[in-house]
Amino acid sequence: MMIRTIHVGCMGFAGGRLQGLALCKGLEPMACVDVEVEAAKEAVRELQARFPDWFPAGFEKRVYRTIREALERHEAEACLIYAPTTVHAELVVESLSLGLHTLCVKPIATSQAEFRSIVEAHRARPELLLVQGQNKRWNPAAAKMREWLQEPHGIGTFLGGECRFWIRQNLSRQKPKIPDVYLEGLFFHSAASHQLDQLVAALGLPAFVTARVHRRRDESLGQRGVWGTAGGAAMLEFESGVCFCYTGTRAGHGSPFWWSGSWTFHGEEGDILRDGGHLQLFRRGEVVEDVNLQDLHPGLIEDDRIQFEAFARAIATGEGREWLQGTTLDTWILMEACNVSARNGERVDVAAFKEEMFGKGY
Ligand SMILES: NC(=O)c1ccc[n+]([C@@H]2O[C@H](COP(=O)([O-])OP(=O)(O)OC[C@H]3O[C@@H](n4cnc5c(N)ncnc54)[C@H](O)[C@@H]3O)[C@@H](O)[C@H]2O)c1
């Protein structure tokens, strides 16, 4: 069963997602939404000309200014949101209110008030699937790490680990007002979430978090010293007392680890070492598996195709639905808990914070 889908955002990074949608088996592109309607039509026309078999005939004409307008003209069950970060929450609320299963690229919200508005809208339509898009958990390297953390043939009982994320990302060349450098707290929500989402996807939420942020100003990278935008560290404590340490920066002096990061995990039965797509499983002094797998696909189109297929499957059959919705929203909770901890200099009880954000009975 194909899930008829409206796609929000047609240009820039969003345009690549439109390619992911077209390639995906399970979602059927019905219409696009973009505030820059004419420019978006042109972008879709170019895509249509390059890949004539990907979209339905005349698709380039199906670009509208709002989700409601698109839905008035085309039937749909789902919506993918790839507009700028500052409008995510209002678009998610609109999409849910119109009865659409919704996947919105991270961060789904930039403040606790925005997150609560989404929870309210979802509370009114709980049958709809709501997902925070996290494209970096889907590639084969990320999937292999998750398998070794979850399956009996992996590391066994988890004893501890760490992740280092280190890139030199020049945001000064991008739009003058890219939210990642002017909105407080976006290091955890838009950079660290790429790695820590993979941890939440495999091991769930920790019980406590203690975090701090870097104070970094480097105009050549676009870093203006806005709180919580450049880098940070977090110690995650799981229920069993096991700790996981994270340190990351998007404003580094080099780029040795990139978006996937460098990871180690210790377990009763084995240890994992991962650098990007290179993963090794150690057991009793031996390397028992050593693999080089596809890490992030160029342009992330393949990563998103896989993500969209999982979204479609969850809607059509229910497969993975609870995990997909639960763990991706939990990643938002964990990232915001990191911000709360760093702001207040406190150790945050993650379950209590989650209940505060969702309210009772969600
Ligand atoms: N997960 C990742 O790997 C990753 C990578 C890059 C960007 N992103 C995220 O993707 C999102 C989009 O990034 P971008 O660089 O493509 O942004 P962008 O500013 O280029 O906007 C994307 C598109 O949305 C349109 N748009 C703007 N406001 C809109 C609105 N109110 N309704 C409908 N359409 C609207 C724009 O015209 C544009 O076509 C951001 O949230 C960004 O953080 C994620």
Tens-digit pLDDT profile for residues 168-222? 999 987 655 789 999 999 999 999 999 999 999 999 999 999 999 999 999 999 9
Confirm or reject: Cβ of 9 under 6 Å from ligand 1.
Answer: yes
Confirm or reject: Cβ of 11 under 6 Å from ligand 1.
Answer: yes
Confirm or reject: Cβ of 181 under 6 Å from ligand 1.
Answer: no
pLDDT, position 51: 81
pLDDT, position 43: 94
Contacts of the segment 222-227: beta carbons below 8 A, 24+ positions apart: 222/170, 222/171, 222/172, 222/173, 222/174, 222/178, 222/181, 223/171, 223/181, 223/251, 224/181, 224/182, 226/181, 226/182, 226/183, 226/184, 227/184, 227/185, 227/343
Share of the chain above pLDDT 70, in %: 99
| Residue 55 phi, psi dihedral angles, 5° rounding | -115, 160
Q: Which atom of ligand 1 is nearest to the CA of 13?
A: 16
**Which residue shows structure tokens 């929500």?**
189
Cβ atoms of 233 and 263 within 8 Å: the answer is: no
Residue 13 alpha carbon to ligand 1 centre in Å: 6
Domains located in the chain, CATH noted: 3-136 (3.40.50.720), 137-298+330-357 (3.30.360.10)
Give the whole-angstrom CA distance, residue 250 versus residue 212. Answer: 15
Q: Flag whether pLDDT at 317 surpasses 90.
A: yes
Paired residues of 292 in beta bridges: 278
Paired residues of 15 in beta bridges: none
pLDDT, position 176: 59
